[in-house]
A = this chain, B = another copy of it.
């Protein structure tokens, strides 16, 4: 019994920081998206594309979540966008408090959108509210059609689902219709984008959707 109580306390603290973050962002009219997917599914590559294509039209910043190294933040800093590195030092997901403190150090008055790249992990990040407006689930086509069924929480909660690395489809035995059907078993109506940061296919549609997100709360 005691273990359960303590766990609730911990989540309670996380949820309190998430709530404060929502208030902070609402005060500045900023949308925050929480990008979640496996290691190597292409999260950073997609954000590099976002920086290349929209840095002059969209006022955005990136918070890079990693267990160790600042490699991803360095990749994005080369693009001359605002980026901060959040190191979890062993933890498999971002928590709201760390995100909140990183946000406080950003020039919020100059921003419309913050994209948080969570730690590469299809499981745990989906369990922790970081104060985002929307979770975005990212699945690379190299990972297999069945993953939405095996890791349903993220796909259920996602406000958009990205199927990435579609340039590799000719080299894989991946049934994209079966994968989409599996996603739809879990999540009936969130928009679904098939895209490739390598070829550029599909990214424009996703970036248009992302740019048009409006604060609702």
Contacts and interface: CB of A to CB of B under 8 A. Distances in A.
A123 B150 CA distance: 17
9 contacts: A39-B143, A40-B140, A40-B143, A40-B147, A66-B150, A92-B92, A121-B121, A142-B168, A171-B171
A121 B142 contact: no
A39 B147 CA distance: 7
Interface of A: 2-3, 6, 9-10, 38-41, 66-69, 71, 90, 92, 119-124, 140, 142-144, 146-147, 149-153, 165, 168, 171-172
Nearest to A142: B142
A49 to B, nearest CB: 15
A41 B144 CA distance: 9
Contacts of A38: 38-40, 120, 122, 143
A117 to B, nearest CB: 12
Nearest to A91: B123
Nearest to A168: B171
A121 B150 contact: no
Contacts of A120: 38, 122-123, 147, 150-151
Contact of A150 (B3, B6, B71): B71
Nearest to A153: B90
A71 B146 contact: yes
Contacts of A67: 123, 150-152
A90 B152 CA distance: 9
Contacts of A150: 39, 66-69, 71, 120
A69 B150 CA distance: 6
Contact of A124 (B69, B123, B142, B171): B123
Contacts of A39: 38, 122, 143-144, 147, 150-151
A122 B37 CA distance: 12
Contacts of A10: 3
A150 to B, nearest CB: 5
Contacts of A68: 149-152
